[in-house]
């Protein structure tokens, strides 16, 4: 697989009631194909969020959107465009960050959580200087993060509900 220059292909998910922003790094190949967040079947994001909020695991994009918006959450990514090999965070280079000012000004966002180390690194380097909203780095829900069991992820990610 070779490196490609890719621009984020789909919009953020939020509405005027969103209070908590969850930032990923950049969509995986499967997410880009599906044109929606956390599209890889083995990514544990949807399992974690549905467990935290004691909701049924969503199947469709519509159900996923409802789960996020019903709990005053928002989804977006730290990176607008980059050079990447497949879905590999470690291959990311030539980063252009996303501008989250539109989300901030059109919602009630006052908390930001980063899904994994790359998201957090990009947020702190490029976005935090303009928002000045501190972010909390959470362990990645990616299948590549094998060190974390689903139960351990749910435990760590529960902080989202505690602050919401």
Residues noted as catalytic: 43
Structure tokens at 31: 């997410």
Cα 16 to Cα 2, 26, 69, 161: the distances in Å are 40, 24, 10, 19
Give the side-chain half-sphere CA count within 13 A for 94: 10
Nearest to 32 by CA among 79, 71, 69, 87: 87
> Which residues, listed in sequence order, are joined to residue 119 by a DSSP beta bridge?
none
Q: Mention every residue, 6+ apart, whose C-beta is less than 8 A from residue 67.
A: 46, 49, 50, 53, 55, 58
């Amino acid at each position: 697989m070779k490196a490609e220059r890719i621009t984020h292909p789909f919009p953020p998910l939020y509405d005027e009631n969103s209070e908590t922003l969850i930032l990923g790094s950049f969509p995986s190949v499967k997410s880009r194909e599906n044109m929606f967040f956390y599209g890889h079947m083995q990514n544990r994001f949807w399992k974690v969020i549905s467990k935290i909020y004691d909701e049924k695991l969503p199947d469709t994009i519509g159900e996923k959107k409802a789960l996020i918006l019903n709990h005053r959450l928002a989804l977006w990514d730290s990176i607008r465009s980059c050079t990447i090999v497949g879905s590999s965070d470690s291959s990311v280079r030539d980063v252009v960050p996303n501008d989250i000012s539109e989300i901030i000004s059109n919602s009630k966002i006052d908390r930001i959580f980063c899904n994994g180390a790359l998201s957090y690194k990009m947020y702190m380097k490029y976005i935090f200087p303009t928002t000045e909203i501190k972010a909390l780095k959470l362990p990645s829900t990616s299948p590549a993060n094998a060190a974390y069991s689903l139960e351990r992820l749910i435990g760590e990610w529960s902080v989202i509900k505690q602050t919401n």
